[in-house]
Amino acid sequence: MRVLQINNFEHIGGGSDRVYQLTTRMLLDQGHELATLACGDTSFDARKTTVLLPRNGYVQPNPLATLRNFREFIYRPEAAQQLDALITAFKPEVAHLHIFYGQLSNAILEVLKRRQVPTVMTVHEYRMLCPVSTMFTPELGVCERCATGSYRHAVLNRCNRNSVLASSLSALECRTRDRRFDYVSHIDHFFMVSQFCRDKHIEYRPAIAAKSSVLYNFVDSPGPASGQPTPRSYLYCGRLSREKGLGMLCQAFARRSEDQLLIAGAGPMEAELRAAYAGLPNIRFLGKLDAPSLKAQIEQAWFTIAPSEWYENNPMAILESFAAGTPVIAARIGGIPELVIPGRTGLLFEPSDQPGLAAQLDQAGRMAPAERQALAEGARGLIRSQHLAEHHYALLMDGYQAACRASREP
């Protein structure tokens, strides 16, 4: 099958980019022909046909360049032209979208519709319901005010970078999309990466129910553990941003000198957190690690921690922790409870509840090695049952076929 994968970025900056790469490589390994459209400088796999665009740099010293970039945030003619040429040359049988808004823009939807290419989309977040994609702001916490389509709330609350300009641009992009490039009419099938994500979208966009399915992310098959877990040593790995609950997590460990917290990753909160906790020897910042180094840290942790405060969906950090045989302490929010099951794969606390987190850390700290090992085996078992490539591939192909059938319907 000739498959066209489309994503904002060619290389990994977040979990959705990792899924884009993993999906592309899995399809190549299965013998499919692949083409990709993304922003970047070099291809991550020489086996595929690759079209790369420069990134949208947004604010520039030249005001005219900034205005052009703002326009291309909503509709990027270059992306439309490159996609049109790629379709002509590659003749895809299905197009698979990941995150494309903000860089490639809604221009690609117009081209795919006009060229009658069956189209699927992996819904990694909540852009259809929220101009900033997370349904979360630091001031309001979880927020569903814009989910009905009234995007003025994003501007009034300055949800994008606490900026009226940035928030207005995001709201304008969503309003333009709804009027000219409505996802439900332009996309033939939606892959939702958690049941929670599917239910939340159906709550506000009921038409999605008939053209969507749950497709969990996948990781490599669990191998034998090569590390020895260190009691009372905990690891956070992921983006360092407010919706991830890092502020509360560090505050909790500042009161627990007997426990060690390692933080792997980078993001907008990194400098703030490093400065605030520089004097605490039990909180260490590891920076962004390569895959082998991160795996080693996960295997050495007693538990990893996912303290998210937004509607997290199917975090790769949790899946990778489970695959390495490390159970997880996590917030009970979004799709996380579909993975972290108390007594089976880890421990849960209520989001933003620091005493609740402390109670679960106390429980984890008291665990005998055998009890912790039982959770580790449960975590590996969950990966084997529904998060391996072969399971993902079967459901992926079902969705591709559904999109092809839907595109032929009058």
Task: Find the mean pLDDT for residues 400-410.
Answer: 90
Q: Is the pLDDT of residue 56 over 90?
A: no
Q: How confident is the model at residue 64 (pLDDT cuts 50, 70, 90)?
A: confident
Q: Which phi and psi (to 5°) does residue 210 adopt? A: -80, -15
Alpha carbon 221 to chain centroid, angstroms? 20
Element holding 8 (H helix, E strand): strand 2-9
Closest to 261 (Cα-Cα) out of 292, 297, 314: 297
User: What is residue 138's predicted lDDT score, i.e. its pLDDT?
Assistant: 86
End-to-end CA gap in the chain: 23
Residue 142 has pLDDT above 90, yes or no: yes
Please, what's the largest Cα pairwise distance for the chain? 65
355 C-beta neighbours (distance < 10 Å), count: 9
Task: Report the 10 Å Cβ neighbour count for 243.
Answer: 19
CA-closest candidate to residue 310, choices 134, 66, 111, 124: 134
Q: Does 291 have pLDDT greater than 80?
A: yes
Asked if 2-218+389-408 and 230-385 have one fold, the answer is yes
- Cβ(99)–Cβ(7) under 8 Å? yes
- Name the residue ranges covered by the structural domains of the chain: 2-218+389-408, 230-385
Q: How far apart are CA 208 and CA 188, in angstroms?
A: 10
In this structure, what token pair is assigned to residue 201? 């979208």
With contact defined as beta carbons under 8 Å apart, do 342 and 324 qualify? no
Confidence class for position 85, pLDDT limits 50, 70, 90 = very high
| pLDDT higher than threshold 80 for residue 321 | yes
**Percent share of the chain, pLDDT over 70:** 99
* pLDDT over 90, % of the chain: 90
Is it the case that residue 209 has pLDDT exceeding 80? yes
- Residue 343 binned pLDDT confidence (cut-offs 50, 70, 90): very high
Q: Residue 407: what pLDDT?
A: 87
* 210 pLDDT above the threshold of 90: yes
Mean pLDDT of 356-378: 97
| Residue 14 pLDDT grade (very low, low, confident, very high; cuts 50, 70, 90) | confident
pLDDT for 227 beyond 80? no
SS3 assignment for the chain: CEEEEEEEECCCCCHHHHHHHHHHHHHHHCCCEEEEEEECCCCCCCCCEEEEECCCCCCCCCHHHHHHHHHHHHCCHHHHHHHHHHHHHHCCCEEEECCCCCCCCCHHHHHHHHCCCCEEEEECCCCCCCCCCCCEECCCEECCCCCCCCCHHHHHCCCCCCCHHHHHHHHHHHHHHHHHCCHHHHCCEEEECCHHHHHHHHHHCHHHHHHEEECCCCCCCCCCCCCCCEEEEEEEECCCCHHHCHHHHHHHHHCCCCCEEEEECCCCCHHHHHHHCCCCCCEEEEECCCHHHHHHHHHHEEEEEECCCCCCCCCHHHHHHHHCCCCEEEECCCCHHHCCCECCCEEEECCCCHHHHHHHHHHHHHCCHHHHHHHHHHHHHHHHHHCCHHHHHHHHHHHHHHHHHHHHCC
Q: Helices 15-29 and 389-408 sit at what angle, rounded to 10 degrees?
A: 90
**pLDDT score at 393:** 98
Tell me the mean pLDDT in the region 44-55.
97
Whether 145 shows a pLDDT value over 90: the answer reads yes
Q: What is the pLDDT of residue 189?
A: 98
Contact 151/175 with Cβ under 8 angstroms?
Answer: yes
The pLDDT of residue 62 is above 80: no
pTM: 0.93
For the cut 80, the answer to whether the pLDDT of residue 65 exceeds it is no
Q: How confident is the model at residue 388 (pLDDT cuts 50, 70, 90)?
A: very high
Highest mean pLDDT among 54-58, 165-169, 232-236: 232-236
- Report residue 117's pLDDT band, with 50, 70 and 90 as the boundaries: very high
pLDDT digit string (tens) for 19-35? 999 999 999 999 999 99
Q: In the CATH hierarchy, which fold is given to the domain comprising 2-218+389-408?
A: Rossmann fold (3.40.50)
| Residue 377 confidence (pLDDT) | 95
pLDDT at 180 over 90: yes
Closest Cα to residue 232, out of 202, 253, 247, 203? 253
Range 230-385 classified under CATH 3.40.50.170: no
Predicted confidence band of residue 372 (pLDDT cuts 50, 70, 90): very high
Please give the mean pLDDT across all residues of the chain. 95
